[in-house]
Structure 1
């Protein structure tokens, strides 16, 4: 159709220029395609009806008319007061030339778009399905008791948000379970206080020996009752110890799975645990003193582990020294080491090496107290030592690595000796002593 417009324009230009017969024939020859010029008022040899040709001659714009076998382009040309019409026929063969190739190209593009869409949708769906599958597996693992499972949020925004929410939920579950176990351990420690008092009171009773034949029946029954009380106390203490050890082992396993939580302030742990033990110290009229727990002293030990170790050492002081025996808890740091010391004024330990062995005790207990402290110290790169305290009794020293400074020396004796020299017996005061007036 563009070529037909060009041929019409060539002939129309010759007409408008006033070309004669020879000039018009030359223009028709140059245009090619056998255009026809209808002089004003003539309609012969036209492919369109005469009335349509007349109506076009009255206008000024080209007109395209569908006819049998193609399309006719009619262009009016006005010269003076007369209008001629230039007719150019375009057959269907020219109109459809090359369209088959174009249709195949369009079809190929359409197929390519459909195939690309399928691939993109498949990849997106595969990512979404993978994210959902990971979320389902993690949820089933948590339901099975594995609270350490976490997922990497991926996929669409909604699934990624669900993944982050799942991780937060799992963290809350771990925190809640750890808090519950720590609460059980704390409650168990609180049970130790009345148990210790009850055991001391039971030991103050008469002997429970019933083999003497000259006892009255009432005396025999009374002594048997004393024996049952003592046996019940021993059994209850064993159950409490088992509960504490089991609970702390579970908490320690969680701490091992989360190394970022294995750091605590040793001074804060000392202050916190002494709040608990001070109540029992007041009941037993024990003088005590806390030294060096004012400043922050970080150590690479989980808080629960260090608290359990300190409780084990202090529990031995209350259990194996007479009521009214004074004790001291001190903490200091030097050359990359932190020393946590517990001294008492009791009878001391005859065989320190045996006391540090797991399950060994000179007092008939489980022998796990000092072993708990030893394992906690070794986990922090340190150790536990036993010596004679300046107060006259036992001195238990836990040596821990300083979390803020690498150790400069492997020996602990300089630090322990320095702590002993810093204690001034002449200036020692016991502000927590219970007097008779109180």
Structure 2
């Protein structure tokens, strides 16, 4: 429609220009004859003047009422009334005649006499080139219509395709196909909606993955009291009740192991599963608790583990727990990490192997919690730090809990060989109330030094 509204006026303009061009030619021919009439009324001179205009238009020029006798030169086409009107008006007149139009221009010959010069303009001259222009404009209009329809069809198809793709992805996501993603395309609004849907799907996957890991972590924490119950059950007599308690504890351990392994399975994109409370940086999520005193946590947990160690004839010590060592990690999270480390010592080292827990508050703004044992150590520390990986047949989550607690405390973890000859796990956390320091030391240098520095206890434990 826009093309037609533009091309129709353009066609009319072309038609008007053709008519004005024909009238201009007629006026030029008339001017030659008028110039002669102002000098002489001799018919022969006038015919020569008409012939001088040249071209096929020579036969279309005529002169009316020439001289006293009313002589006429050439073949006229205008009606007498039109000739009289032109003579009376003393101005050019354009009169319609059969087969075209006549251009009439009066000439005052003096003595009250007036001649009228007529130039006949056939319709072919008035419409010269107009038909070709209309055909050309029609072809352009048709081309524009076809192009606009094609472009509109392509745009509509693209919009419809993008909308269908978005609707299909949303439907698939609602049915549980969490692996569905869309290539953002189409108009800006649909592209932004597709991108938002991809982000939402990724977030859902992350939330479900974190939920599963949270369940696995909570299940892993249950293993600590179960270990204590199992050890206590072993001290019971061989009565039927004691056997029943041991069987129940063993069954519970099996169920917890199944739960942990089930939560470690990859998320099926078609079966939404639960988000572990973990920040994007891998730290343990906040539980709403504030920081804690590392020394206090060690004292509390060692009261429990010292009884277990006594039953297994293990010598255990807590060193550096007399002075406060504040950190930003919640107490429950730090206690869980400490239980995981000591639980590993109890479970995976022979009975009688000593262990110790040391708390050090450094002047460079870090608090160090170190757990050492005299067992066989950890042969592949890097693999041991990977979540779900274990070299002892366990769930492989204990050290990951330790890592996340260290990250939450703005610190790090180092595994190496300690002063007792076995594994040494060092947790470095930022001091919650650090003293002013002049030259802070990098935490990695601190961890490396702590894992390698000699201890006066080394010789004491070897003597023992």
Q: TM-score range by the shorter chain?
A: 0.5 to 0.7
1:170 and 2:186 aligned: no
Against the structure 1 CA distance between its residues 64 and 288, is the aligned structure 2 distance closer, same or farther, given a 3 Å change threshold? Answer: farther
Against the structure 1 CA distance between its residues 157 and 79, is the aligned structure 2 distance closer, same or farther, given a 3 Å change threshold? Answer: farther
Distance 2:47 2:174 in 1: 97
2:260–2:395: 8 Å Cα contact kept in structure 1? Answer: no
2:220–2:398: 8 Å Cα contact kept in structure 1? Answer: no
Against the structure 1 CA distance between its residues 166 and 83, is the aligned structure 2 distance closer, same or farther, given a 3 Å change threshold? Answer: farther
Please name the residue that 2:300 is paired with: 282
What is the SS of the residue equivalent to 1:88?
strand
Structure 1 segment 92-171 matched on structure 2, within 5 A: 92-132=123-163, 134-136=165-167, 138-139=169-170, 142-143=173-174, 145-171=176-202
1:38 and 2:64 aligned: yes
What is the SS of the residue equivalent to 1:57?
helix
Please name the residue that 2:371 is paired with: 343
Please name the residue that 1:300 is paired with: none
Against the structure 1 CA distance between its residues 244 and 368, is the aligned structure 2 distance closer, same or farther, given a 3 Å change threshold? Answer: closer
Against the structure 1 CA distance between its residues 167 and 354, is the aligned structure 2 distance closer, same or farther, given a 3 Å change threshold? Answer: closer
Against the structure 1 CA distance between its residues 263 and 420, is the aligned structure 2 distance closer, same or farther, given a 3 Å change threshold? Answer: same
Q: State the shift of 1:394 in Å.
A: 3.7
Distance 2:376 2:199 in 1: 52
Unaligned runs of 5+ in 1: 211-222, 254-260, 296-307, 333-339, 377-383, 399-414, 427-438
1:316 and 2:316 aligned: no
Against the structure 1 CA distance between its residues 314 and 422, is the aligned structure 2 distance closer, same or farther, given a 3 Å change threshold? Answer: same
Q: State the shift of 1:61 in Å.
A: 4.9
Distance 1:150 1:66 in 2: 75
Against the structure 1 CA distance between its residues 372 and 240, is the aligned structure 2 distance closer, same or farther, given a 3 Å change threshold? Answer: same
Distance 1:419 1:24 in 2: 127
Instruction: Using structure 2 for the length normalisation, give the TM-score.
Output: 0.57
Q: State the shift of 1:145 in Å.
A: 4.4
Please name the residue that 1:10 is paired with: 32
Against the structure 1 CA distance between its residues 372 and 289, is the aligned structure 2 distance closer, same or farther, given a 3 Å change threshold? Answer: same
1:237 and 2:250 aligned: no
Distance 2:320 2:153 in 1: 72
Against the structure 1 CA distance between its residues 360 and 62, is the aligned structure 2 distance closer, same or farther, given a 3 Å change threshold? Answer: same
Which consecutive segments of 4 or more residues in structure 1 shift more than 6 A?
40-45, 272-278, 292-295, 308-311, 351-360, 370-373, 415-418
Against the structure 1 CA distance between its residues 76 and 148, is the aligned structure 2 distance closer, same or farther, given a 3 Å change threshold? Answer: farther
1:419 equivalent among 426, 451, 458: 451
2:51 equivalent among 1, 13, 29: 29
Per-residue Cα deviation, 1:194-244 (whole angstroms, up to 9, x for no partner):
54555455556x32x13xxxxxxxxxxxx52x4333333332233333333
Per-residue Cα deviation, 1:375-430 (whole angstroms, up to 9, x for no partner):
x9xxxxxxx9775x32x4741459xxxxxxxxxxxxxxxx868623165769xxxx
Q: State the shift of 1:170 in Å.
A: 1.6
1:57–1:83: 8 Å Cα contact kept in structure 2? Answer: yes
Q: State the shift of 1:95 in Å.
A: 3.8
Please name the residue that 1:64 is paired with: 94
Please name the residue that 2:244 is paired with: 228
Structure 1 segment 241-390 matched on structure 2, within 5 A: 241-250=257-266, 282-285=300-303, 287=318, 313=341, 315-317=343-345, 326-328=356-358, 343-344=371-372, 348-349=374-375, 366-369=393-396, 387=417, 389-390=418-419
Distance 1:85 1:275 in 2: 123
What is the SS of the residue equivalent to 1:58?
helix
Per-residue Cα deviation, 1:345-384 (whole angstroms, up to 9, x for no partner):
x5x43586799998875xxxx44449977xx9xxxxxxx9
Q: State the shift of 1:177 in Å.
A: 1.8
Against the structure 1 CA distance between its residues 294 and 54, is the aligned structure 2 distance closer, same or farther, given a 3 Å change threshold? Answer: farther
Distance 1:238 1:145 in 2: 30
Please name the residue that 1:74 is paired with: 104
1:55 equivalent among 85, 88, 101: 85
Against the structure 1 CA distance between its residues 51 and 234, is the aligned structure 2 distance closer, same or farther, given a 3 Å change threshold? Answer: same
What is the SS of the residue equivalent to 1:116?
helix
1:342–1:395: 8 Å Cα contact kept in structure 2? Answer: no
Against the structure 1 CA distance between its residues 265 and 370, is the aligned structure 2 distance closer, same or farther, given a 3 Å change threshold? Answer: closer
